[in-house]
Amino acid sequence: MTQEKRKRRSQLSYGKLDKDGFIHRSWMKAQGYPDHVFDGRPVIGICNTWSEITPCNSGLRELADYVKRGIWEAGGLPLEFPVTSLGETQMRPTAMLFRNLLSMDVEESIRGNPIDGVVLLGGCDKTTPGQLMGAASVNLPTIVVSSGPMLNGKFRGQDIGSGTDVWKFSEDVRAGRMSMDDFIAAESGMSRSRGVCMTMGTASTVSNLVEALGLCLPYNGSLPAVDARRQALAHMTGREIVRMVEDDIRLSDIVTKDSMLNAIRVNAAVGGSTNTVMHLLALSGRLGLDLTLEDFDSESRDIPLLVDLMPSGRYLMEDYHYAGGLPAVMKKMAAHLSLDAQTVTGESIGERLEHAQCFNDTVIRDVTDPVQENSGIWVLRGNLCPQGAIIKPNAATPELLTHTGRAVVFESIEDYKARIDAPELDVDEHCILVLKGCGPKGYPGMPEVGNMALPKKLLEQGVRDMLRLSDARMSGTAFGSVILHVAPEASAGGPLAVVRNGDLIELNGPERTLNLQISDAELEERLNAWRSEVREPTYTRGYAKLYVDTVLQADQGADLDFLQGASGDAVTRESH
Ligand code: FES
């Protein structure tokens, strides 16, 4: 055993020639490992969110075997371990409630076990962000392999996109344009293979941003889940993590302020999900980077929308990969990127892009012929959102980005569901639908309900979009003129709490303002009255209580306050 090998944290367990070392090694040998695998080689944890009730991650059990091949081949010892899995379409009340719980599971599993580096296997919306947050708070050498997107959805001769076409079909049924039989038949056509949603929804956006950050091998963001080249990518990732451990390349060497700003710009160019605002802010909070909500607006102002994918455009992830994937996008927008940012392979982003090629300029446009001139996220301020709110302009109707309308208020999602289709609801297409009680504390967990379906009677009149406003999030696959993440949320006593039916609300998108048109004195009077009301806590025990008591607002990524920052990888005590 060399001196260098003894320094590995795995050797603090496996390298001891005493009672403690016996205990660590002996019980592992119950799995058939021979003596020599504890010789000081890098021990690599494979942190797996595989689960049969997270269908988007259902291929990760098998993919882990390809990662192991690469680790063995490079001289490491792979040890796979499970962590909490979060199925976006399955978990109630919302998977986002558990993202921070997953991050705690990941953090403690990595720190508590004798591993030197970690491969994160995630995919569905909240799994990769939760894994990254937890891994960041330990800061070992870290690399990501994503599930990869499903094959393109197909139904009656047309491509259909995960999520995006669900909203369309659902409104078509409500408006009488689609039969229930066709609606049910479309379910199988939409999800034809394992993998994540094949629109540029949250999962594909996150895996692309992981690639933009340099935290994975090229094309991890786009290779279809069932493409054999993803298995080869997993194999090569296993080799890479062993080298990263040998070179001591840590997660914080890759995820820096510069690489975060690259990710924000890439998010704009690919028409990425609004949910990434929350996840990047939470991740930067773990690493102590001074990323702010404003960075999402200022850094994406000059970025054109280059990728013509649903929900902002027409195509799907298979088309995107065959067109050249993220390397092609980043090469086209290279003038907007910090090319010196480092990647897991030791190359800079700039070096990585030298070999990138675009094979379809219709799917991935040139900067001189973009899908839209300006993309990204607009960050709004005003008396209705003192800590900010956001809107995704390329998903909105341009005329509604400057609009004043009468508020039609729903006090909760249940209130909305009970009344939205009532014939007597006093609403027209110029009104603004306002939803309260769906922020981090209020729901709790900030569900994806901000893209409220329009009132049935307006759909029947042919209305296709209205301005909507809430403290909720929306699915990355959704679209519409939707103001999200209003902070502070209503349940934390933000001004949203005291908006009343009939109030006028003014959005001035170009000026980035969102205001309730009442006087400061009246706003204060309403807020004082709200504060004086006595409210019984909804949750009195368990994780939900911990979450409600400690969750931060949307402008800080809705992490739990005590989880911000990092504790490193050291464990100084031994219980045996
Ligand atoms: Fe899992 Fe879309 S629901 S990725």
Helices 202-213, 257-269: axis angle to 10 degrees equals 140
Nearest C-alpha to atom 1 of ligand 1 is from which residue?
124
Predicted confidence at residue 276, as pLDDT, reads 96
Ligand 1 pocket member 91 (CB < 6 A)? no
β-partners of residue 121 are: 48, 145
Q: Is 217 helix (H, G, I), strand (E, B) or coil?
A: coil
Cα 203 to averaged position of ligand 1 atoms, centre (Å): 6
Ligand 1 pocket member 240 (CB < 6 A)? no
Predicted confidence at residue 4, as pLDDT, reads 45
Cα 402 to averaged position of ligand 1 atoms, centre (Å): 32
Cα 309 to averaged position of ligand 1 atoms, centre (Å): 16
Ligand 1 pocket member 282 (CB < 6 A)? no
Cα 72 to averaged position of ligand 1 atoms, centre (Å): 31
Q: 420 is written with which tokens?
A: 């939205």
Q: Which CATH class is domain 41-152+192-302?
A: alpha beta
**Which of 466, 463, 468, 477 lies closest to 175, judged by CA?**
463
Cα 266 to averaged position of ligand 1 atoms, centre (Å): 20
Q: What is the CA radius of gyration of the chain?
A: 24
What is the tens place of the pLDDT at every residue in 284-321? Answer: 999 999 999 999 999 999 999 999 999 889 999 999 99
The whole-angstrom separation of Cα 208 and Cα 263 is 8
| CB-count exposure of residue 44 (10 Å: 0-12, 13-18, 19+) | buried
Ligand 1 pocket member 196 (CB < 6 A)? yes
Cα 126 to averaged position of ligand 1 atoms, centre (Å): 9
Domain parsing of the chain, residue ranges:
1-37, 41-152+192-302, 159-189, 378-535
Ligand 1 pocket member 454 (CB < 6 A)? no
Q: Does domain 378-535 have CATH number 3.50.30.80?
A: yes
pTM higher than 0.85: yes
Ligand 1 pocket member 190 (CB < 6 A)? no
The whole-angstrom separation of Cα 482 and Cα 391 is 6
Predicted confidence at residue 3, as pLDDT, reads 44
The per-residue pLDDT string of the chain (576 residues; one tens digit each, 9 = 90 and over) reads 444 444 799 999 999 999 999 999 999 999 999 999 999 999 999 999 999 999 999 999 999 999 999 999 999 999 999 999 999 999 999 999 999 999 999 999 999 999 999 999 999 999 999 999 999 999 999 999 999 999 999 999 999 999 889 988 988 898 889 999 999 999 999 999 999 999 999 999 999 999 999 999 999 999 999 999 999 999 999 999 999 999 999 999 999 999 999 999 999 999 999 999 999 999 999 999 999 999 999 999 999 999 999 988 999 999 999 999 999 999 999 999 999 999 999 999 999 999 999 999 999 999 999 999 888 899 999 999 999 999 999 889 999 999 999 999 999 999 999 999 999 999 999 999 999 999 999 999 999 999 999 999 999 899 999 999 999 999 887 889 999 999 999 999 999 999 999 999 999 999 999 999 999 999 999 999 999 998 888 899 999 999 999 999 999 999 999 999 999 999 988 877
Cα 104 to averaged position of ligand 1 atoms, centre (Å): 21
Atom of ligand 1 nearest to the CA of 125: 4
Cα 114 to averaged position of ligand 1 atoms, centre (Å): 32
Encoded amino acid at 517, one letter: Q
Ligand 1 pocket member 71 (CB < 6 A)? no
Atom of ligand 1 nearest to the CA of 57: 1
Ligand 1 pocket member 56 (CB < 6 A)? yes
Q: Which residues contact 434 (CB under 8 A, 6 or more apart)?
A: 407, 408, 409, 410, 468, 469, 470, 496, 499, 505
The whole-angstrom separation of Cα 108 and Cα 573 is 14
Q: 150 is written with which tokens?
A: 């499903």
Which residue from 165, 196, 198 has its CB within 8 A of the most atoms of ligand 1, so it is best to mutate? 196
Q: Is 184 helix (H, G, I), strand (E, B) or coil?
A: helix
Cα 208 to averaged position of ligand 1 atoms, centre (Å): 14
Region of residue 493 (left: phi > 0; alpha: psi -120 to 50; beta: else): left
Predicted confidence at residue 576, as pLDDT, reads 78
Cα 419 to averaged position of ligand 1 atoms, centre (Å): 29
Cα 437 to averaged position of ligand 1 atoms, centre (Å): 24
Ligand 1 pocket member 203 (CB < 6 A)? yes
Atom of ligand 1 nearest to the CA of 162: 2
Ligand 1 pocket member 90 (CB < 6 A)? no
Ligand 1 pocket member 88 (CB < 6 A)? yes
Which residue from 56, 96, 165, 473 has its CB within 8 A of the most atoms of ligand 1, so it is best to mutate? 56
**Contact call for residues 119 and 67 (beta carbons, < 8 A):** yes
Atom of ligand 1 nearest to the CA of 123: 4
Ligand 1 pocket member 89 (CB < 6 A)? yes
Which residue from 124, 190, 279 has its CB within 8 A of the most atoms of ligand 1, so it is best to mutate? 124
Ligand 1 pocket member 201 (CB < 6 A)? yes
**Contact call for residues 119 and 241 (beta carbons, < 8 A):** yes
Which residue from 50, 88, 187, 474 has its CB within 8 A of the most atoms of ligand 1, so it is best to mutate? 88
Cα 48 to averaged position of ligand 1 atoms, centre (Å): 16
Atom of ligand 1 nearest to the CA of 477: 2
Nearest C-alpha to atom 3 of ligand 1 is from which residue?
88
User: 265-298: string of b/e by CB count within 10 Å (b at 16+)?
Assistant: bbbbbbbbbbbbbbbbbbbbbbbebebebebbbe
